[in-house]
Amino acid sequence: MPANELLEVKEFLNTPKKVFITSHRNPDGDALGSSLALYHYLRINGHTVSIAFPSEFPSVYKWMIGSEFILIYDNDPEIINERIKEAELIFFLDANNLSRIDKLGEEIEKYDVPIVHIDHHMNPDTSFTYSYVDPKASSTCDLVFDVLTGWEETSFIDNEVISTCLYTGILTDTGTFSHNTNPVLFEKISRLLQAPFDHISIQSLVNNSLPEKNLRLLGYCLYKRLEVIPEYKTGIIFLTKSDFAKFDIQRGDTEGIVNYILKIKDIDIAVFFTQQPTIIKISFRSLGDFNVEEIARQYFNGGGHKNASGGSHFKGLKSAMELFKEKLPEFFKKHKTNN
């Protein structure tokens, strides 16, 4: 966001306002961290703030302060519609287009209220009132750091709750600092760590708090459901509706499984198909130059980032997997040069 736009938003917030914050379906650590960091900052500054997500967030984030006040559209649409109607300013975080938040997005589009868009996904909608978007940024929390720093220099970061939120989003979106990092990001982290919070315990809460059934599911996926296609440096895992029932799991419980495929030597493309009640959801991950955002957008109604994208398919699991395998040779050939 150009500095003058940033100041315009800051000036608008000089008097108490009703602010509405929202982010994508199946919220992750970055959606939660960026939403809650802004929530705390705005509340400290006297605003009335609501956060609403389209769907429930994973229980591993229940420890985050303020998460108990987050509204979920799947559960409470009427209250959320009311909050949208009253809002004087909306923050739309960690998603490139309002279509990513389904009915919640349609509701927001009914009103002529200024929207501040802060995001790091590719192909952003450019029609928002204010935009601070950088697809090269590690996370939306990384960008919220910039926005808050632009407004307040760095003093706000000494608030350990806000620092913890920003740290959590950066931690999760960089796979615990294993990708999308750069020296400037580490400077930001170093500044965050000056606040009094125990960042190792945050890592443990995020990375080492899975229910036993999730680990058993992971074992099942790797033992029974992993298909490796060495000539295309690709690994595929799929889960059916009956697997979800058998392991007593919800969609959020499969988070992270796709990343294990990339641990295999010489595998650079990872795809994870899950059969949801009405659609097939696909997660793509890659290493190096394989731009999975392209395949997610072109063939699976999706998008995301170069090395981490998602999409969906409406004609069943078999058809989704066939379509991917059909497009794989051409995709591999196009991107393989530097891998």
CB 80 within 8 A of CB 110: no
| Pairing status of strand 130-133 against strand 226-229 | unpaired
Report if residue 235 touches ligand 5GP, rule: CB under 6 A: no
Q: Which does 283 bind (CB under 5 to 8 A by kind): ligand 5GP, Mn ion, none?
A: ligand 5GP
Residue 282 to residue 322: CA distance in whole angstroms:
13
Which parts of the chain fold into alpha helices (H)? 3-12, 29-44, 77-86, 102-109, 140-152, 160-173, 183-192, 199-207, 212-224, 241-246, 257-261, 292-299, 317-335
Indicate the residue among 140 and 283 with the shorter CB distance to Mn ion: 140
Q: How many residues bind ligand 5GP (CB under 6 A)?
A: 14
> Could you give the angle at the alpha carbon of 96 between the alpha carbons of 59 and 338, nearest 5°?
95
Residues 162-181 that bind Mn ion (CB under 5 A): 173
Query: Site map for ligand 5GP, 77-106, x if CB under 6 A?
Result: -------------------x---x------
Report if residue 306 touches ligand 5GP, rule: CB under 6 A: no
SS3 93: strand
Report if residue 30 touches Mn ion, rule: CB under 5 A: yes
Of 22, 94, 157, 270, the one binding Mn ion (CB under 5 A) is 94
Report if residue 33 touches ligand 5GP, rule: CB under 6 A: no
Residue 216 to residue 212: CA distance in whole angstroms:
6
Phi, psi of 93 (to 5 degrees): -120, 145
Report if residue 305 touches ligand 5GP, rule: CB under 6 A: yes
What separation, in Å, do the N-terminal and C-terminal C-alpha atoms of the chain show?
34
Q: How many residues bind Mn ion (CB under 5 A)?
A: 5
Q: Which does 173 bind (CB under 5 to 8 A by kind): Mn ion, ligand 5GP, none?
A: Mn ion
Assigned token pair, 177: 């600092």
For the CB of residue 320, give the shortest distance to ligand 5GP in the complex, in Å. Answer: 13
CA dihedral 204, 121, 181, 51 (to 10 degrees): -40
Query: Site map for Mn ion, 123-152, x if CB under 5 A?
Result: ----------------xx------------
Name the residue with the smallest CB distance to ligand 5GP.
310
Report if residue 310 touches ligand 5GP, rule: CB under 6 A: yes
Q: Which does 249 bind (CB under 5 to 8 A by kind): ligand 5GP, Mn ion, none?
A: none
CB 141 within 8 A of CB 132: no
Q: Which does 30 bind (CB under 5 to 8 A by kind): ligand 5GP, Mn ion, none?
A: Mn ion
Looking at residue 249, the DSSP 8-state letter turns out to be: -
How many other CB atoms are there within 10 angstroms of residue 139's CB atom?
26
Q: Candidates 62-70, 125-133, 243-251, 297-305 — which segment interacts with ligand 5GP by CB under 6 A? A: 297-305
Counting Cβ atoms within 10 Å, is residue 272 exposed (0-12), middle (13-18) or buried (19+)?
A: buried
Q: Candidates 178-186, 196-204, 305-313, 317-325 — which segment interacts with ligand 5GP by CB under 6 A? A: 305-313
For the CB of residue 86, give the shortest distance to Mn ion in the complex, in Å. Answer: 27
Report if residue 293 touches Mn ion, rule: CB under 5 A: no
Indicate the residue among 169 and 310 with the shorter CB distance to ligand 5GP: 310
Assigned token pair, 127: 């029609």
Q: Which residues bind Mn ion (CB under 5 A)?
A: 30, 94, 139-140, 173
Q: Which residues bind ligand 5GP (CB under 6 A)?
A: 24, 96, 100, 121, 283, 302-305, 308-312
